[in-house]
Every structure is written in C-alpha cells, then in structure tokens.
Amino acid sequence: MKKFPEHFLWGAAMSAPQTEGQSLSHGKSASTWDYWFAEAPEKFNQNQGPADTSKMYDTYAADCQRMQAIGMNSVRTSIAWTRLLPDGKTVNQEAVIFYRKYFQAMLDHGVEPIINLFHFDLPMWLMDQGGWESRDSVAAFAYYAETAFELFGDLVKKWTTFNEPMVHVECGYLYQYHYPAIVDFKRAVQVGYHTLLAHAQAVEAFRKVLPKGEIGIILNISPSYPRSDSAEDQLAAQRSDLLNTRSFLDPAVLGNVPEELVTLLAENDLLPAVKADDAALLEENTVDFIGLNYYQPRRVQAPEHAESPAKMPHDFYAAYDWPEKRINPYRGWEIYPKALYDVAIMMKETYRNIPWYVSENGMGVADEERFMNASGMIEDDYRIEFMQEHLDYLHQGISEGSNCFGYHAWTFVDCWSWLNGYRNRYGFYSMDLATYERSVKKSGLWFKATAEKNGF
Ligand code: BGP
C-alpha cells in the first residue's frame, strides 16, 4: 500500500470559462473567448463555443454533491473577471451572490476551494486597450484580485493568481491558438512580463487583505529532456528551461528573473520595457505554494537552422521526437509519468522545497461512449492506469522528501476546451451534450477509493 501524507488534497481542477456557462448573461461581459467565437466560429471544433459550457452557474449545488460523492476533498476553479467586474471597476452583485453560494456549497460538502483568478479569459474591454501588452493591465488585474480577496476571503483560504501564464503568452502571441493570434516574439515577452508583474502585484494586495491566507500560482511545468549529452542539445534544454520553466517559477518562488534569461533576451533584442521598482516588487512578493500542471514531457534538441537574432523560440531549441515515446493518440501528447518524480525532486532541490501540488494531470480521450458498459457507465480503465502510474512516481518523489500536498486531476466533469470544443473528454463524470446530464465513470469510483484510502 502506497500511502500519501496526512491531509493530502485529492480533487480536480476546472475553470470558470470552461464550466460556468451563462457566459453573456447575469451581468457578465465578454471575454476574448466570447468575442473570438462570435467573430470566427469556424476556428472552434464543430463550432462549439463558450456560451453554455457545463452550466455550472445553474447546477453548482448538485455538482458539489457529486464532488463529495467521488471522494474529492478539494477542488480548484476560477472566478471570471468579466463576471465579477464587467467593466473592470463596478462589482456585479449577482456575481457576488453566485460565487458566495458556490464556494459555500463546496465547504458544506467538505470540499476545500482553491480559487484561481485568471484562466486564459481576458476581458474584452481590456483587450481593446492593448491587453497584457499595456502596462495598465497590471493595475487592472491587481484591482480585480484585491476585490475578489475582499469579497470571498472569509470563505476561501487558498488562492492562485494565474493558470499557466505561459499559455496565453505563447498561444496568443506566438502560435495563434488564442486571441489575438499574433506572431511576435518581442510582444510575447512583454505580455509575459506584464503578466508576471500582475501576479506579483496581486500577491502584494493579498498580504494586506488576507495575511493569514495562502497564495500561489499554477504553472505548466516539465523538465526539458535533451536528445543527447552533446553540448548543443544541453544548451537547447537549458534555454528551453529558461523560457518555459524558470521564467515564472524563479520569480514566483525565489523572487527574481534569472540572470541568464535576461542575458539571452538582451542578446536577441527581446527585452521588455521595465520600470525601476519592478525588481523590488518581484523580490518582496514570492508565493506560499506552487501548483504544477503536468500532462506531457518537453523533449528538445539543438535547432538545425536557427535565426539570429531569434525570431521564435524554435531558434533556441527545437522539439525532439523521441522514438521510444508512448503516446495518447487522441490528444497527441506523450505519456511519461516519470516526469512527476523529476519535477518533485526539482521542487525539493532547486525551489527550497516549497509546498506544491499537482494542480492538473489527466488524459483526454475522444468518443468515450465506445467504452460504455451495459449499465451505461463509461469504463475508462486507460485513465485509471494513467493516473495510477503518475501517482506512483509522485509517491516516490514524496518519499524522498518533496513537499507535495495534493493531486488534482483534470477534470471533474467533461468540459469544453478552447479551440478543441468537446472533442477530448477528461472528466470523472461524463456529460451528455444534449441534456447536460452527468454520469460517473469508472475512474470516478476508483478516485473515491483512492482518496478514502489516501493511497493505493
Ligand atoms: C490545461 C488547461 C486546461 C485544460 C487542459 C487540457 O493546459 O489549464 O484549461 O484545457 O489543459 O488540455 P486541452 O483542453 O487542450 O486538451
């Protein structure tokens, strides 16, 4: 029997835009997703948009019961900035009532809320003013954060500022999967930098409003595994780590942007505009904990044709296709559970063994109805195996002293996923797209047993 530490958090992660529904009603204003779907629905799988995702705005009470029914003692979701402050300044009282009832229902069912503030859903009014490229976004976010801490801090003790900040940077400004779908490395760096400052300024507000609470940030992290021991491949891996891991993890935990990253950006004319007090803001506002989302490893090799100065990240490192990889064919992502052990040891050795948890891990599979048994339950044994293998490596890292306090799966109920719509399903519960009815999968029952035993 592999036991996890006492008070280990077992749960699942979600986000407001992927679950609440009612995305343009009850006082909510448009996010970039609402806008982009209205402008270009053909970009979205089967024209599936963000309007009525999972309808949890209406079903939250029964959903909190469902969380408890599968042994979840914690959950992460986010607040929609556009619901709480539709114009960035005025509090929407309907949103306050909704979130207070929602968070109270979690508590009533023994489910600890971890509340995140930003999950890729930028208000459209802010995008119209330049979005994260504008320095004003920093103060706008800090104001929103402070408002949320004041309104819900009596119910919520654990907060996070951003989910995977690197994703809106690269998808919005390098790879065109998020609005505004621009390709410009220098602007991407500026967007990342303002996001980092917005995070730090929110932490600063948190210390004033909720000095007894805990605050963190959720990062998508994998070590960069080089193709070989050659100096070129090693350098590619170091650079990939600098851009993808250390860019946010170092300042969040250690209080500073790595010198090597500053040098690399300077050499390539990619430095963002900064102000004199920024370094002090970062240094004084480190986090209490980290959430790490892990799905797939990052494998890299030296680029064959690199432009100098760099125009794209692939001028620093290229993707390496490892011939021995195992793959999840639906999502196209490699399955490599050992990375969770490597990450656990990295947190222990390089990041002062700060408390951290696995804030997302999961397997997206298409057409899961194929696996439905005679009584209508989806038997997702592949997902159980996936999670068990990852938990095994996580357990090994914990037994070697890594300070991990929980494991959250992605996700609770099958949900809408950005440009992929409802193609891949991740939930412990399936959702009927016509009726929104939820049914527990075999993995939900397995999770309950695992959480109750605090191990497997
Ligand atoms: C993470 C995001 C989630 C979720 C998940 C699954 O990066 O934080 O919002 O969507 O990935 O990925 P996808 O939905 O792209 O299959």
Name the residue with the closest Cα to ligand 1, atom 5. Answer: 410
Asked if 360 is an active-site residue, the reply is: yes
Cα(212) to centroid of ligand 1, in Å? Answer: 31
> Which H/E stretch holds residue 116?
strand 112-118
User: How many CB atoms sit inside 10 A of residue 211's CB?
Assistant: 7
What's the pLDDT band for 76 if we cut at 50, 70, 90?
very high
User: Quick check: is 332 in a domain?
Assistant: yes
Number of domains comprising the chain: 1
Predicted local distance difference test score (pLDDT) of residue 437: 98
Give the pLDDT band (50/70/90) at residue 98. very high
Q: Which residues contact 433 (CB under 8 A, 6 or more apart)?
A: 422
Which candidate, 120, 144, 140, places its Cα nearest to that of 129?
Answer: 140
pLDDT tens figures, 208-236: 999 999 999 999 999 999 999 999 999 99
- Which residues pair with residue 118 across a beta bridge? 162
pLDDT digits (tens, 9 = 90+) for 99-137: 999 999 999 999 999 999 999 999 999 999 999 999 999
User: Which residue owns the Cα nearest ligand 1 atom 4?
Assistant: 417
260 is catalytic: no
Domain of residue 232: give its range: 9-453
The verdict on residue 205 lying in a domain is yes
Share of the chain above pLDDT 90, in %: 100
Q: Are 371 and 404 in contact (CB under 8 A)?
A: no
pLDDT tens sequence across 403-427: 999 999 999 999 999 999 999 999 9
Does 259 map to a domain? Answer: yes
- Compute, in angstroms, the gap from residue 131 CA to the centroid of ligand 1: 22
pLDDT at 150: 98
Distance in angstroms (rounded) separating the CA atoms of residues 443 and 232: 43
What does the pLDDT average to over 387-392? 98
Q: Could you tell me what percent of the chain has a pLDDT over 70?
A: 100
pLDDT at position 8: 98
Q: What is the chain's mean pLDDT, rounded? A: 98
pLDDT at residue 141, rounded to an integer: 99
Q: Rounded to whole angstroms, how far apart are CA atoms 365 and 424? A: 5
- Ligand 1: which of 76, 298, 386, 410 to mutate, judged by most atoms within 8 Å of the beta carbon? 410
Q: Return the bridge partners of 160, or none.
A: 116, 216
Whose C-alpha lies nearest to ligand 1, atom 15?
Answer: 417
Mean pLDDT for 427-441 is 98
**Residues lining ligand 1, CB < 6 A?**
15, 18, 163-164, 167, 220, 293, 331, 360, 364, 410, 417-418, 420, 424
Residue at 4 is within a domain: no
pLDDT of residue 404: 99
Of 164, 170, 334, 368, which one is the catalytic site residue?
164
Pocket probe mutation, ligand 1, options 417, 420, 422, max atoms within 8 Å of Cβ? 417
Whether 2 is in a domain gets the answer no
- Calculate how far, in angstroms, residue 362's C-alpha sits from the geometric centre of ligand 1: 9
**Cβ–Cβ under 8 Å, residues 248 and 166:** yes
Separation between Cα atoms, residue 74 and residue 239, nearest integer Å? 36
Region 314-338 average pLDDT: 98
Q: How far is CA 253 from CA 8, 156, 209, 215, in A?
A: 22, 22, 21, 11
Residue 1 lies in a domain: no
Q: Express each pLDDT in 171-189 by its tens digit.
A: 999 999 999 999 999 999 9
The answer to whether the pTM exceeds 0.95 is yes
* All residues at 6 or more sequence positions from 121 whose CB lies less than 8 Å from its CB, including other chains: 15, 16, 17, 31, 32, 33, 78, 80, 81, 82
CATH number at residue 54: 3.20.20.80
Q: What span, in angstroms and rounded, lies between the C-alpha atoms of 386 and 391?
A: 9
Nearest alpha-carbon partner for 443 in 386, 384, 371, 377? 384
